[in-house]
Structure 1
Amino acid sequence: MIEIFTTGGTIDKVYFDALSEFQIGPAAIPDLLRENNVHVPHRVTQLMRKDSLELDDADRAAIRAAVEASDASRILVTHGTDTMVLTGRVLAGIAGKTIVMTGAMQPASVRASDAEFNVGFALAAAQILPPGVYIAMNGMIFDPATTEKDRAGARFVAQDRG
């Protein structure tokens, strides 16, 4: 069983009308999984509906508490990309759990979104990686401790520690 926690972020953004900007809508992941015929045992829990730039220390503590309290050893967290690395660092040190974080650079509701690929990739990663915290984006697995978001490149990159 994979426990999926949703927190909001771009992956869940939708237009509510033609005059509005994107806003966080309902969690996109249940529809993504159903539409893509995913049968891996899972449950989805929506923790919050926030842009990751609006997440604060209390929100990150709530995410960590939910992951710690889960009876699942394999966890997927959908999260906004702007502060995903920061939350990943907060999740470090939870023993016995494989925690994979993912999100999207474009909302799941738009045709050119990377959401479907990232979610599928993250689900696979959650099933095969050893315990630890990971970011699964852009077809790559990253360690939050040594990763940053490259805003200009719209991707994640490992930091040069040399």
Structure 2
Amino acid sequence: MKILIIQTGGTIDKDYPKTTNGYAFEIDQPAVLRVLEQVAPGFEYECIELMKKDSLDITEADRKLLRKTIISAEATKILITHGSDTMPETASFLNNIQGKTIVLTGAYRPERFANSDAAFNIGVAIGSLNTLEQGTFIAMNGLVFPANRVRKNSVTGKFEYQ
């Protein structure tokens, strides 16, 4: 199995600013690559740095580019790292792509932080790609949700079935 990993940005990839007097985090290299380096995975993967945006800044044009990238890819197993705020909207936009298994994941705290949920969410997402049939899903909070049955609870910040 070969997994295509697509970075779109979000908290999972955020790092401390590299500019002087920087206050905001910036989106860095794909966190998933650092996670996979530590675990010696038993599968092949390729990573595309498609965009480095906070999910609140992802546009319709960005989603169209993501969709086009997925459709044109040879891989049938796709992992997308994405910010959690608009992850359900992107998953819904990608939901009817045929012949692919697509899992979106992210993190509430940057992977660079010791108490990050990034590695856990990436592991759940990759495990899901091994077992799910075609379709689009979100892997967050130790659960996997179909794209058309998920929402982010605005009070708790957690993903849940709708």
TM-score normalised by the chain length of structure 1: 0.93
User: For residues 53-99 of structure 1, what are the alpha-carbon distances to aligned partners after superposition, in whole Å with 9 as ceiling and x for unaligned?
Assistant: 00000000001001101101111111000001000011011111110
**Residue 117 (structure 2) pairs with residue 114 (structure 1):** yes
Match of 1:94 among 83, 94, 97: 97
Letter in 1 for 2:107: A
**SS of residue matched to 1:107:** coil
Q: Which residue of 1 aligns with 2:13?
A: 12
Amino acid at match of 1:153: T
Alignment partners' CA distance in 1, 2:118 and 2:60: 26
Aligned to 2:151: 148
Give the C-alpha shift of residue 104 in structure 1.
0.4
CA displacement at 1:109 relative to structure 2? 0.6
Q: Secondary structure at the match of 2:79?
A: strand
**TM-score, normalising length from structure 2?**
0.93
Tell me if 1:38 matches 2:33. no
> Which residue in 2 is equivalent to 1:137?
140
Q: Shift of residue 154 of structure 1? A: 2.8
| Percent of matched pairs sharing the same residue | 40
Q: Does 1:50 align with 2:58?
A: no
Q: How far apart in 2 are the matches of 1:152 and 1:13? A: 23
Supply the distance in 1 between the matched residues of 2:68 and 2:79 (Cα, whole angstroms): 14
Alignment-mate amino acid for residue 2 of structure 1: I
| Deviation of 1:151 (Å) | 3.6
Q: Secondary structure at the match of 2:123?
A: helix
Q: How big is the alpha-carbon RMSD for the aligned residues of Structure 1 and Structure 2?
A: 1.3
1:37 positional shift = 2.3
Name 1:76's counterpart in structure 2. Answer: 79
In the aligned structure 1, how far is the partner of 2:46 from the partner of 2:154?
31
Which amino acid in structure 1 is aligned with residue 108 of structure 2? M
State the Cα distance separating 1:27 from its structure 2 match.
1.3
After superposition, what is the alpha-carbon deviation per residue over 1:107-151, rounded to whole angstroms, capped at 9, x for unaligned? 001011000000011011011100000001111111221211124
Aligned-partner Cα distance in 1 for 2:23–2:29: 16
Greater mean deviation of Cα atoms: 24-33 or 1-10: 24-33
How many residues end up aligned between the 2 structures? Answer: 159
What SS does the aligned partner of 1:45 have?
strand
